Copies of this chain bind each other. A is one copy, B any other.
Amino acid sequence: MLAEIFAPQSVAVVGASPDPSRLGHAVLRNLIEHGYAGPIFPIHPKAREVLGRRAYGSVLAVPDAVELAVVAVPARQVLHVVDECGQKGVKGLVVISAGFKEVGGEGREVERQLLAKVRAYGMRMLGPNSLGVIDTHSRLNASFAAIMPDAGNIALMSQSGAICTAILDWSKSRGVGFSHFVSLGNKTDIDEVVLLRAWGNNPRSKVVLAYLEDINDGPAFIAAAREVTRTTPVVAIKSGTTAAGSLAASHHTGSLAGSEQAYEAAFAQSGIIRAHTVSELFDLAMLFAYQPLIKGNRVAILTNSGGMGIIAADAVERSGLAMASLSQATIERLQRALPPSGSAYNPIDLLGDARHDLYGLGVEAALADPNVDGLIVVLTPQAQTELVETAEIIATLAARSDKPVVASFMGGYSIGPALAALNRNAIPSYTFPERAVQSLASMYDYVERSRRPPPNYRHVPVNLKEVRHVLTQVRASGRVELSEGEVRLVLAAYGLRIPESRLARSPDEAAHLGMQLGFPIVMKIASHDILLKSAIGAVRVGVADDEAARDSFELIDYRARKYWPGARINGVYVQEMVRPGRDLQISMSRDPQFGPLIATALCGIYVEVLKDITFGLAPLSEQDVYDQIRALRAFPLLRGADGGPFADVAAIEDVILRVSQLASELPEIVELEINPLVVHRQGEGAVVLDARIILQ
């Protein structure tokens, strides 16, 4: 996929200057030096030859077909160049030139025109403002990066050219190889979604890395990522998450950063592994690229230092992985080989004088143990340590196993050659055992998640026409907030339980309806015009009998007319009184990048003081909702942890799924808040006691 960018038959470099300080020159040199095999055409207005290649005045002057054009001319000339490329039949563009959206003002407008042209000619474009693209398989280095990465199975996209550079520099020092390397630039056409789909389930890329400052289309991103992550791990850094970071991000690229909660939810729901630091990104890249997936959570630690064994075991416990219980056979095998003060139990302590053959025996024994899913080899350089030999025997044995093996050789002065041997042999190595553990834990999370069945979305039949009619009427009357009656109609259409409510037009009718519903009842003025019903005493709770119902009708009617003169009054609602239960709050707002963000919390101090709120992005799958409720710190309360009854959690899940459907189907609703949702005992359902709906 995207062969016109990653594996073109021929490449033109527009702006391929003979001046070595120009970017176009650097791109041409990279193409030639790193062995791109197809025809390369320098395009320059004056030069006859650049770097030994015949140059042309424009792409139109090239006698052969041009599949990819790399554009490195001043911004004001780009539109013209793109026209020529379109006429020439060029299929792919990599626009290095800067001076578009990122400079604001006119640049933004020119970028719009650029995209329109690209679309009109049916081309695909990377950039503008991109460092370029590298594909190690087609040996294409169409970038001005100073370093060519080794071939490998990591695909990387980055919204920051500088981060591309730093990653290249790091990877070269560790011998880490890439399949694709893309600087996204302003991602005007080709963006994170296009690349995710191109790289997912692609045998050349075992792992996809992404550095993102914003996301073009939140819902499309989630949909693509959900699919891709089922077969290919995706590790992403989203920067600009805190207030200060967002401010910096907007200085940097003029992008509007989405809310942190929405990003967290998007990554979690789509199965993307979120790295919070570049160092985490590297850690995971090595692990996924080099080693097989871990099949369970049981880890063995092998070390020549009891102290480091303790540190590593601590980290394992904290990470959510488990220390493997070695089988009796393994323990006996180790005991036969170890000196008496070594430890054949996990962490396996080979003692400070362990040589490479003892390490080899330990690695072999641990990997052969059916109770072990992954192995961490920790080494501190001591007098008798055989550094390189140990690295090599680990690599040899790891290559024969389908379990992941990672290493932490500690130090710096004497371990260089051993680290090089580990890198050469695809054993991820970490300066400290904690990072090895954390990386394995993230891998295990990924594996766990990819084993889940595909997401299941419930859909309830809804009379959308009727609902839209209500919303149209609200708009027609010039309001943005729905009245209580309108809210009831919308929620009822989505099958949410609301208290039974009938309209009484006289005191006697109120008494009669009260008897039908069963006392005690709630009575409330019925008027679109009166909003603060409780404040003026136009709501009465716990009306006990028919006489009280008659009295309440007249009192409510009197107060409404007195405090809201001129209000149109339809009568008084007589409503079922809801038994007390556990109060929850379910609300929906719209995130500018990701759309409907649904928040769940227990009412009262849980939401207000403890800020115990969980978030999800609609459309939510059943599994998403299951996770979202259980992520509440206060979840145990719904299971009777404070001595109360078990709450009907299934009913809460059902309400959230219906709200998710509503949010997806009715984009004109910008805000919805159910507060409280009264949740009864298990099997007894949940009732919406009050709710607000706001339109755009």
Contacts and interface: CB of A to CB of B under 8 A. Distances in A.
Interface string A166-178: 1011111110000
A253 B304 CA distance: 15
A170 B318 contact: no
A17 to B, nearest CB: 15
A279 B435 contact: yes
Given A313-B245, A609-B641, A169 B307 contact: no
Given A279-B432, A313-B245, A162 B307 contact: yes
Interface string A258-281: 000000000000000000111100
Contacts of A192: none
Interface string A628-657: 000001101100011000000000000000
A434 interface: yes
Nearest to A383: B146
B412 A172 contact: yes
Contact of A345 (B251, B279, B412, B636): B251
Given A159-B307, A239-B307, A380-B163, A244 B317 contact: yes
A77 interface: no
Interface in A286-325: 304-311, 313-318, 323
A381 interface: yes
Contacts of A347: 248
Contact of A165 (B158, B309, B381): B381
B306 A412 contact: no
A396 interface: no
Contacts of A251: 306, 343, 345, 349
Given A308-B160, A413-B169, A642 B317 contact: no
A411 interface: yes
B253 A306 contact: yes
A222 to B, nearest CB: 22
A309 B414 contact: no
Contacts of A383: 26, 144, 146
A314 B241 contact: yes
25 contacts: A159-B307, A160-B305, A160-B308, A162-B305, A162-B307, A165-B352, A166-B308, A166-B380, A169-B412, A172-B412, A211-B307, A213-B310, A239-B310, A242-B314, A244-B314, A244-B316, A248-B306, A248-B309, A248-B347, A251-B306, A251-B343, A252-B310, A605-B634, A608-B642, A610-B610
B413 A147 contact: yes
B240 A310 contact: yes
A411 B380 contact: no
Contact of A410 (B158, B278, B411, B434): B278
Interface residues of A, number: 87
A103 interface: yes
A137 to B, nearest CB: 22
Q: Find the residue from A237, A247, A349, A413 having the highest chain B CB count within 10 A.
A: A413
A380 B434 CA distance: 26
A352 B248 contact: no
A138 to B, nearest CB: 23
Contact of A314 (B240, B315, B410, B642): B240
A317 B315 CA distance: 26
A251 to B, nearest CB: 5
A373 interface: no
A431 interface: yes
Interface in A390-425: 410-415
Nearest to A341: B103
Nearest to A104: B341
A414 B169 contact: yes
B314 A434 contact: no
A169 B352 contact: no
A317 B162 contact: no
Copies of this chain per assembly: 2
Contacts of A169: 380-381, 410-415
A169 B172 CA distance: 24
Interface of A: 26, 102-103, 144, 146-147, 158-163, 165-166, 168-174, 211, 213, 237, 239-245, 247-249, 251-253, 276-279, 304-311, 313-318, 323, 341, 343, 345, 347, 349, 352, 380-383, 410-415, 431-432, 434-435, 604-605, 608-610, 633-634, 636-637, 641-642
A451 B172 CA distance: 46
Contacts of A144: 383
Contacts of A431: 279
A333 to B, nearest CB: 18
Contacts of A165: 305, 352, 380-382, 411
Nearest to A241: B314
A169 B380 CA distance: 9
A237 B410 contact: no
Contacts of A305: 160, 162-163, 165-166
A162 B352 contact: yes
Given A244-B317, A313-B248, A642-B604, A162 B412 contact: no
Nearest to A238: B314
A476 B86 CA distance: 102
B608 A641 contact: yes
B413 A172 contact: yes
A35 to B, nearest CB: 20
A161 to B, nearest CB: 7
Contacts of A213: 307, 310
A106 to B, nearest CB: 14
A352 B145 CA distance: 12
Contacts of A314: 239-242, 244-245
Contacts of A641: 605, 608-609
Contacts of A248: 306, 309-310, 313, 343, 347
A237 to B, nearest CB: 7
Contacts of A147: 413-414
A245 B380 contact: no
A299 to B, nearest CB: 10
Contact of A277 (B162, B247, B434, B634): B434
